[in-house]
Structure 1
Amino acid sequence: MRRSTLADWGAGVSLPGYRVDTGGVSTLAPGDISHDKGPHTHPAPEIFLILAGSGHVHIDGETSPFAAGDVLIVEAGEDHHLEAVTEVVTTWLHLEPAS
């Protein structure tokens, strides 16, 4: 996983070689987890823009905190879940190869 902030991206968030396939906005109540228990992976990267709140991101069994303003890039094949500590609002983007 790569972490940065929205301010770091300036003109916009993009990954060379990929385009947005699907996306949406999700809200997690305190204690909620973003995906059902068990492995959750994708064949291409996924980007989370944390718009509000704080929590923990679980990547391949390791846990790191996140907060509003963070950009989380989950690499292809990484098992991932977001866990809300406070109410979390996130925009998520599933990517696909641009070609």
Structure 2
Amino acid sequence: MKKLRLSDLQEKKNGHILQDVLPGAYLSSGGLSFAKRGERSHTNDGPDGRDYHVHGDCEAFVIMQGTGTMEINGEHIAVTTGDIIIVEPGEDHHLHSSEDDPIVTIWCHAGPNRHKNQQHEETV
């Protein structure tokens, strides 16, 4: 896991804003998430209902609002507005939202291809 702040990012004219810390030419999937108070993400969604959540690529979480902790392989790291967390391949990860100031995050993955909505249509 890597933790940095939005202010640590270098200005970009081309490519995606996280290209220095999130491998891949294009942002390829992601979303905006509004966590409930005290919510823990990805609980019991592993194989056979186990409490385990990993990816084969990196995933970025940008904390847009709120506070909480990012659980990485059982260790809890405090996060707050403006933090960027890069989860490495194979790291079991869960985001915990605080009761007092629930978390709003942007999460994303990057890869060699653009999101399917941004790809050119194949002509037949």
Match of 1:4 in 2: 4
Could you tell me how far 1:61 is from its partner in structure 2?
Answer: 0.9
Could you tell me how far 1:22 is from its partner in structure 2?
Answer: 0.6
Query: How many pairs are equivalent?
Result: 98
For 1:30-69, what aligned pairs fall within 5 Å after superposition? 30-37=37-44, 38-69=51-82
- Structure label with greater radius of gyration: 2
Match of 1:80 in 2: 93
Structure 2: runs of 5+ lacking an equivalent: 12-16, 45-50, 114-124
Select which of 21, 29, 43 maps to 1:22: 29
Structure 1: runs of 5+ lacking an equivalent: none
Structure 1 ranges of 4+ moved more than 3 A: none
Q: Which shifted more, 87-96 or 40-49?
A: 87-96
Identical positions, percent: 35
Select which of 59, 62, 71 maps to 2:84: 71
Q: Which protein has the bigger strand share?
A: 1
The structure with higher relative contact order (CA 8 Å, sep 6+) is 1
TM (normalized to structure 1)? 0.90
Could you tell me how far 1:87 is from its partner in structure 2?
Answer: 1.2
Query: Separation in 2 of the partners of 1:58 and 1:32?
Result: 12
Q: Secondary structure at the match of 2:7?
A: helix
Q: 1:17 to 1:89 in 2, by over 3 A?
A: closer
* RMSD over aligned Cα atoms: 1.6
